[in-house]
Structure 1
Amino acid sequence: MGAEALRALLDRVRYEVLPAKATEEKVLAHVPRDVVVTVTASPVKGLEPTLALTERLTAHGFRVVPHVPARLLRDDTHLKDVVERLRAAGVDDVFVPAGDADPPAGPYDGALPVLRRLGELGRPFAHMGITGYPESHPLIDDDITIQAMWDKRAHATYIVSNLCFDPRLLGDWIARIRRRDVTLPVYVGVAGPVQRAKLLSMATKIGVGESTRFLSRHPSWFLRFATPGGYAPERLLTRAAETLTEPSAGVAGLHLFTFNQIAETERWRRALLERLG
């Protein structure tokens, strides 16, 4: 990948963080204000930690994208309350996955009904993201996930892909959704420079975030992090260069899964930018 193209991707990053006790302090200490921060939500802890952290970070001047999983919404009143609270905080972008709560907290069992309801409420957010799965979802068939993106395309404004370690799979998936006439821009999900010991520690905690739960369902992925030379973000980006830089792919930027290794992720990004001049 050319230095200019890689720099452009690294300048258009989103950092996914988990709403833990120390997250606010870590973000303030290490994340520049021009980097978008997305905040996950837990089926165990509910939406409150996500909303509270979003409010605090927006007050500090960050652009924050809270996750609002459909299965955590108790009812229509709860959805309206969440909308009002986020709008009051100045939020104009939300990420709406289905979520993992089982059973759902209310009537919404998937993202599409929530997106439709937000439309009926006058589209209170300028930007709304949905999930994509380059590597197969552990519970849902690939054809269904791609059909779901097609169904949501009239309501959402972008897609965030979940973790993918295989450049070929990533390229095939992007080509497939484009053939299906899903034209929404894609933020490609990439794991940051993860330290295996910290990742394993987080994965043993209950309800720390959707990204960690998704990872825990793919135990072989831990081997990628643990093997010396097995995973490096810049190597994945280089191998996926053609896919990421092809104009028809519609890649808007990178969505970096930090697993709350926020300082390490930002140091890696800055060091790579410096090496690129």
Structure 2
Amino acid sequence: MMARPTRADVLRALLSRVRYEVLPTAGVVDEVCAGLPSGATVTVTASPSKGLDATLQVAERLAELRYDVVPHLAARMIDGPGRLAEITSRLHSAGITKVFVPGGDADPAGAYDCALQVLAELTRTGHPFTEIGIAGYPESHPAINDDLTIQAMWDKRSHATLLVSNLTFDPHLLASWVRRVRTRGVQLPILVGLPGPVERARLLRMAPKIGVGESARFLAKNGGLFARIAAPGGYDPLRLLGRAAPTLGREDMHIAGLHLFTFNQIAETETWRVAQLERLDGGRGHLVARPVTRAQEWGVR
């Protein structure tokens, strides 16, 4: 019988299959180019203060530069089927075939007030994207009852191809959530949402760039983030993954890789990832992030 992979094997596999979330700020394209190799998977968030066009413009530019781009199509920022069709055509023209569809924090611009409505419209129009991601919540959403987030995941599963977990700093909560998702019968591959080793001072400087209203919403949703980052030894991304590895490495959990929240600390996030892989590999390599479109299944002992 083949030996089951070790915890180090699971960590190595996770760190080799990553995508990087960035905010559509001025200069972010240059920051991506400076910090990541061409071909890396980059997701671009949607900003209510900047509008969806900011997301699309960054996505188009990155696609031109041969990045694998996943724009966020926040449902509440799309005013109806006509606008959705326009966005779909625009992305196809740019060669972009992957999207992430959250509900978003903005007030509804028109017909859509939740992600499910946009997902259903995409299904109705013939599944125009090869990959459609949806959000999952290991921790309670501050504005939505747990029962509703669970029901929403179930309702959205048939329209999506990938599940991305939101922020958590609790490895036991993360592992428990993954197991519960599978127990409920949701079998979409999961990308584990993981903040990199973010510098607190720079994160604070990012807040005005995100927008005052959005910063307030961000803090409401992630109030413990600053405290965890600021506390000496309070947050270690690899330690979090290592403690969750016995679950994340199980074959039946279908973990596809990591979704790294960079908060536009892109080069720092990639430097950290490469350093961890070098340490795990003993300097042997395997440093290039591979696509995360399909789950690689691991066992762990």
Q: CA deviation at 1:207?
A: 3.5
Which range moves more in the overlay, 45-54 or 202-211? 202-211
Query: Please, which of 39, 48, 51 is the counterpart of residue 46 of structure 1?
Result: 51
Name the counterpart of 1:239.
243
> 1:138 is aligned with what amino acid?
P
Could you tell me whether the CA contact under 8 Å between 1:42 and 1:208 is conserved in 2?
Answer: no
Name the counterpart of 1:202.
206
In 1, the alpha carbon distance for the partners of 2:213 and 2:157 equals: 25
Residues 165, 185 of structure 1: alpha-carbon distance in 2 compared, 3 angstrom cutoff: same
Residues 234, 208 of structure 1: alpha-carbon distance in 2 compared, 3 angstrom cutoff: farther
Where does the alignment leave 5 or more consecutive residues of structure 2 unmatched? 1-5, 282-301
Query: Please, which of 130, 142, 147 is the counterpart of residue 151 of structure 2?
Result: 147
The number of aligned residues is 276
Name the counterpart of 2:221.
217
Residues 259, 208 of structure 1: alpha-carbon distance in 2 compared, 3 angstrom cutoff: farther
Name the counterpart of 1:276.
280
Name the counterpart of 1:7.
12
Query: Please, which of 248, 255, 261 is the counterpart of residue 251 of structure 1?
Result: 255
Q: Which structure exhibits the higher relative contact order, with contacts defined as CA atoms closer than 8 Å and separated by 6 or more residues? A: 2
In 2, the alpha carbon distance for the partners of 1:210 and 1:239 equals: 32
In 2, the alpha carbon distance for the partners of 1:200 and 1:213 equals: 14
Which range moves more in the overlay, 156-165 or 214-223? 214-223
Cα offsets for 1:182-209 (capped at 9, x unmatched): 1111100000110011112223444389
Name the counterpart of 1:130.
134
Q: CA deviation at 1:150?
A: 0.6
Name the counterpart of 2:183.
179
Could you tell me whether the CA contact under 8 Å between 2:52 and 2:73 is conserved in 1?
Answer: yes
**2:28 is equivalent to residue 23 of structure 1:** yes
Q: Percent identity?
A: 59
Could you tell me whether the CA contact under 8 Å between 2:12 and 2:277 is conserved in 1?
Answer: yes
Secondary structure of 2:191 counterpart? strand
Q: CA deviation at 1:168?
A: 1.1
In 2, the alpha carbon distance for the partners of 1:212 and 1:120 equals: 36
Could you tell me whether the CA contact under 8 Å between 1:167 and 1:240 is conserved in 2?
Answer: yes
Cα offsets for 1:3-61 (capped at 9, x unmatched): 22211111110100001111100111111224210000111211011000111000001
Could you tell me whether the CA contact under 8 Å between 1:40 and 1:210 is conserved in 2?
Answer: no
Cα offsets for 1:207-246 (capped at 9, x unmatched): 3897994354332221110000001111111111112111
Q: CA deviation at 1:2?
A: 2.7
Name the counterpart of 2:90.
85
Secondary structure of 2:187 counterpart? coil
Could you tell me whether the CA contact under 8 Å between 1:10 and 1:269 is conserved in 2?
Answer: yes
Where does the alignment leave 5 or more consecutive residues of structure 1 unmatched? none
Secondary structure of 2:159 counterpart? coil
In 1, the alpha carbon distance for the partners of 2:216 and 2:63 equals: 24
CA RMSD of aligned residues (A): 1.7
